[in-house]
Amino acid sequence: MARITRGKGEGALFRVPADTSKPLKFWQAVVELPPRNGERRRKFVRSKDKRVALTKLRVLQKDLAKVGDLPTASQTLESWLRHWFDNVHVKRIAPKTAPTQRGLIENHIIPSIGNVRLDKLEPSHVQRLHNDILSKRALKGKTAGQFYSSTTALQAHRVLGTAMRDAEREGRVTRNVTQLVDAPRRAKTNLAVLDLDAGIRILQESARPGDRMGSRWATALLTGARQGEVIGLEVDRVGEHLDLSWQLQRLTWSHGCNPTEPRKPKCSWKRGTDCPQRQLNAPPDWEHRHLTGGLWLSRPKSAAGWRVIPLVDPLREIIERRVHIASTEPNPHGLVWTADRKRTPQGVLLELDGSPIDPGYDNRAWHQLLERAGVIDARLHDARHTTVDLLYEAEVPEPVITEIVGHSTIGMSRRYRSRGNQRALRDALTKMSALLTPGVAPDPPDSPGDSELGSDPS
């Protein structure tokens, strides 16, 4: 008898064992899949109940008709997430984003539902992930002891959604279950706002003798520039305008000794930073320049952030004073602001070496400044909100405000408008500077210990 070969999508249901005189073990359904590399491929499902097995067969046939293929081997969500992150996802996200998303996978998604088979993932599992995160307390950091917010649950939901989207594209699953569950809503945050009076008090405090970073804080308040944009500003990008086209970031090195298995390095070092063949995983189109250690200059994350703004008084005088001082100090990287003098473990104060300012140190210095100025504690990033408020108070048009602080907009034309209306930008910054520091006309410092801001901005 000629052998009957079933075509794609045709299914069959078998009794195991086929001999009816023997006790039934289970019913097995099978469908033919498209061959791969000339090899026959089939998908099996089984059940002790014949009707259940038949229902599973119909589901397989429906899924096959929908996506054109089905996976023949099952894997857990944990296995897929680690393979996907290390071999697919990390190559298309910014290095600054990778540690955060890896933490969401390792600390939340895998502990909650990582043992579930990828092809068995249901909406109820996604909901369980949300509930597990919201019922968990943070173990370290400023939020230690507090419950995680819905914002964390939303971030985990999005990472899982991206992983499942890619799994669906590869034919590992037939649907993205995260699309069947409402994503958590972002938690409402109450940001500390530094008002006009606080801005003036901050400038007054930073203008005191001995503060090398006074001009750095003035730049943040008068332009709304992000932390990395200010401490990564290079001398050759200061002129009639400030070119905020690069930002300084601390990035995490990855192991380079075994790129096919990043989680199982061959070398004896645990941290990627210590690996002799360390590397930075980054998308091919991501522009970056290495400075030293883990500090890099990179392009802003969006086209709106890549901008050029006019340099007007009093900020012009403040920055020009800083540029002049920088020319008299060690400055191997050509930065406008460099790190303060360091101390040895024995407490000996070293000479200036021109190294970049570490973002962590810069952040601590900001909070110390706020404490000395006697204003409410606020994140360094919140200075951008202050700038926006001051621009509104100066009656600057909203489109111009968006230009100055580098916020993105809906229209693609936004990418081409930036660097254009310099007269409007110049007038806007002049208005805000007059609001924040009326009557400032700083004199050159008499000694290296004087503030770079010159006279008191009050």
Concatenating the DSSP letter of every residue in 161-191 gives HHHHHHHHHTTS-SS-GGGGSPPPPPPP---
CA 55 to chain centre: 44
CA-nearest of 83, 103, 89 to 281 is: 89
Distance in angstroms between the alpha carbons of the first and the last residue of the chain: 102
Distance in angstroms (rounded) separating the CA atoms of residues 408 and 414: 7
Can you tell me whether residue 271 is helix, strand or coil?
coil
Say how far apart CA 15 and CA 275 lie, in whole Å: 56
The H-assigned helical ranges of 224-329 are: 227-231, 315-326
DSSP character at residue 273: G
pLDDT at 87: 85
**pLDDT value for 412:** 28
Helix boundaries (H) for 88-148 = 98-104, 110-113, 123-134
Q: What is the pLDDT of residue 443?
A: 42
Report pLDDT digits (tens) over 301-316. Answer: 666 567 788 877 778 8
Q: Residue 322's closest CA among 306, 308, 336? A: 336
Assign 265 to helix, strand or coil: coil
Q: Which pLDDT does position 456 carry in this prediction?
A: 44
- Cα separation, 321 vs 443, in Å, equals 9
Structure-token match 């063949």, residue found: 277
The type of residue at 283 is P
Q: Answer whether 53's CB lies under 8 Å from 27's CB.
A: yes
Q: Where are the domains of the chain?
A: 11-67, 77-180, 196-251+294-436
Give me the CATH topology for the region 77-180: DNA polymerase; domain 1 (1.10.150)
Place of tokens 């091919």: 284
The token pair at 286 is 């991501």
Entry pTM: 0.68
Q: What distances in angstroms separate CA 197 from CA 53, 321, 445, one per listed residue? A: 73, 25, 26
Closest alpha carbon to 214 in 359, 51, 336, 80? 336
pLDDT by 10s per residue, the chain, length 458: 344 444 454 568 888 888 888 888 888 888 887 776 677 777 777 788 888 888 888 887 887 777 666 666 568 899 899 989 988 898 888 888 888 999 999 999 999 999 998 888 999 999 999 999 999 877 766 666 788 889 999 999 999 999 999 998 887 888 899 999 999 998 777 667 777 778 778 888 887 777 788 889 888 887 888 899 999 999 999 988 888 889 999 988 888 776 545 455 567 787 878 888 888 888 887 888 999 999 999 987 666 567 788 877 778 888 888 999 999 999 999 999 999 988 888 888 889 999 999 999 999 999 999 999 999 998 888 777 777 766 666 666 777 777 777 665 423 223 323 344 455 556 656 665 665 554 544 444 444 444 555 544 43
Cis peptide before 17 (omega within 30 of 0): yes
Question: Residue 10: what pLDDT?
Answer: 56
**How far apart are alpha carbons 418 and 305 in whole angstroms?**
9
Task: Report the CATH fold assignment for 196-251+294-436.
Answer: hpI Integrase; Chain A (1.10.443)
Q: Where does residue 267 rank: exposed (0-12), middle (13-18), buried (19+ CB within 10 A)?
A: middle
Closest Cα to residue 232, out of 403, 366, 357, 322?
357
Using only C-alpha atoms, the chain has a radius of gyration, in whole angstroms, of: 30
Residue 83: how many CB atoms within 10 A of its CB? 15
Please give the full DSSP string across 186-207, using - where no structure is assigned.
Answer: PPP-------HHHHHHHHHHHT
Q: Where are the beta strands (DSSP E) in 216-363?
A: 241-244, 247-250, 288-292, 295-298, 307-310
Alpha-carbon span 194 to 365, nearest angstrom: 17
HSE at residue 97, side-chain half, CA atoms within 13 A, is 14
